[in-house]
Structure 1
Amino acid sequence: MVAALAWGGARVAFTYRSNAAGAQAVAAELPPPAEVVALQGDVGVEADVARIVAAVVARFGGLDILVNNAGITRDALLLRMRPEDWQTVLDTNLTGAVRCCRQALPHLLASKAGRIINIASIAGIVGSAGQVNYSAAKAGLIGLTEVLARELAPSGITVNAVAPGVIDAGIVAGMPEQVRRRLVEVVPMGRMGTAEEVAALVVFLASREAGYITGQTIAVDGGTTTGGLTMPGAQATG
């Protein structure tokens, strides 16, 4: 996503919590004319978010696009979930985005055409058993998207959410092959998505061409959230 935005012409600052070497490697992979900077901080800490936003504005002279992409998982059935695992996921995945919006908004308002893009999940649309904390946080992020879109539309700021489905990246990429096959079975398109496909939508929503799109949650999921039943023999062939 960092690379896609940078090659799309944006000057990009991205955050990391602890993996400095990994963050610097990402930045190093994007030589000039791309302008990319990695900033350490935790979206769970308001002071960190304020410091990061101030650093971005000082370096780039303003802030036009906010992508809320921080997310963690602490999976368990609700009866077995520790209270701290519920709270940590909500604090990072939902309240972290609220903190970032709150700190960024004065600068986005100054731009008069800002963009907020929240990375949600289809878990926030249909739920994911064993991920009640994650699903609740992502559903909340979708609600946040809709409310902020209405509040900020008069100021020319668009707010949208991207809801990835089964994407061959991160945790999913490291899963055993049999688990990966089971995940693909629920995808009508019969394959996993790619990080590049998600990033392409983010770049579009950040562009001028998306200036009349706001308050939307767009799933990148190969049709998973379409629901419905497919009768045997009903699949189209080509």
Structure 2
Amino acid sequence: MRLQNKNIIVTGGASGIGLATVELCMQEGANVIMADLPHDEHVQTASDLSSRYTGRCIFVATDVSSSAQADQLIAATVADFGSVDGVFNNAGIGGMSPADLYTDEDFLHILDINLTGVFRIARASLRQMYAQGSGSIVNCASILGVMGQSMTAAYSAAKGGVVNLTRTLALEAASKGVRVNAVCPGYIDTPLLSALDDNMRQFLIDLHPLGRLGKSEEVASAVVFLLSDESSFITGTPLMVDGGFTAGKS
């Protein structure tokens, strides 16, 4: 198993891509800290996963808009498991609006969660990983981190920031035994898309040369690869998991 006895943190781990990654990490032999906003259901989900796999899954309530909670997440992982071997920095929110109608508050809120939140978790993780001399961080960016799309000024700005933050952190961390990469999903068939009508859903499908939306499990597979030793010579890379969405665009 690729993550045997490794201790992995997944933020935004209670649903969608995050939850699929938690489960795949456990299938691959890891102990997992599932970090998300507080909810009794999340605690039960972690308990259920622990009963199904040989590793342990613990839920830690975490708001990535808080530096203190980011630091506490790392401390809790070390207290329970002894080390932080990998982090999937996945917590994020959506948001669409014409740029001219964005309020400062709404724009900054999306940047705070999707970019500064990623930095807060990465910063706390790097401090621990530097002390260990090892570790792998995977940040969740997006196809909109490498290309633009109307109505997504805040989201695209944040995800573009995540891509370049990933490159910069990778350069800083390389000499200390730590790798930092990103995944850039296309449109993934998660509950967030459940409200779309058939026409809009088909429009999104048609944007992907493979002719379908992605699955959470497919993004999780890419994340686990980047967390594992199979990707030991890969760092600073934004990996497209997009069904060819960006292949013909530059």
TM-score (norm: length of structure 2): 0.87
Confirm whether residue 77 of structure 1 aligns to residue 98 of structure 2. yes
Q: Which amino acid aligns with 2:240?
A: A
Shift of 1:47: 1.0
Shift of 1:27: 4.1
- Residue number among 38, 47, 52 corresponding to 1:18 in the alignment: 38
Q: What is aligned with 1:227?
A: 248
**Larger mean Cα displacement after TM superposition, 28-37 or 84-93:** 28-37
Q: Which amino acid aligns with 1:88?
A: H
The answer to whether the 8 A contact 2:29-2:54 is kept is: no
Q: Which amino acid aligns with 1:18?
A: P
Shift of 1:172: 1.8
Q: Which runs of 5+ in 2 are unaligned?
A: 1-20
Identity of aligned residues (%): 38
Confirm whether residue 60 of structure 1 aligns to residue 81 of structure 2. yes
Q: CA RMSD in A?
A: 1.4
1:27–1:94 CA distance, 2 compared to 1 (3 A):
farther
Confirm whether residue 115 of structure 1 aligns to residue 136 of structure 2. yes
Shift of 1:14: 1.6
User: What is the DSSP-based 3-state SS (H/G/I as helix, E as strand, rest coil) of the residue aligned with 2:59?
Assistant: strand
**Larger mean Cα displacement after TM superposition, 128-137 or 27-36:** 27-36
**Larger mean Cα displacement after TM superposition, 114-123 or 23-32:** 23-32
Size of the aligned set, in residue pairs, is 228
1:23–1:120 CA distance, 2 compared to 1 (3 A):
farther
1:114–1:29 CA distance, 2 compared to 1 (3 A):
closer
1:123–1:20 CA distance, 2 compared to 1 (3 A):
farther
The answer to whether the 8 A contact 2:46-2:58 is kept is: no
- Residue number among 131, 142, 148 corresponding to 2:163 in the alignment: 142
* C-alpha distance in structure 1 between counterparts of 2:126 and 2:247, whole Å: 34
Q: What is aligned with 1:8?
A: 28
TM-score (norm: length of structure 1): 0.91
**Larger mean Cα displacement after TM superposition, 166-175 or 37-46:** 166-175
Shift of 1:74: 2.4
* C-alpha distance in structure 2 between counterparts of 1:165 and 1:221, whole Å: 4
Shift of 1:30: 4.2
* C-alpha distance in structure 2 between counterparts of 1:175 and 1:20, whole Å: 28
Shift of 1:21: 1.3
Q: Which runs of 5+ in 1 are unaligned?
A: 229-238
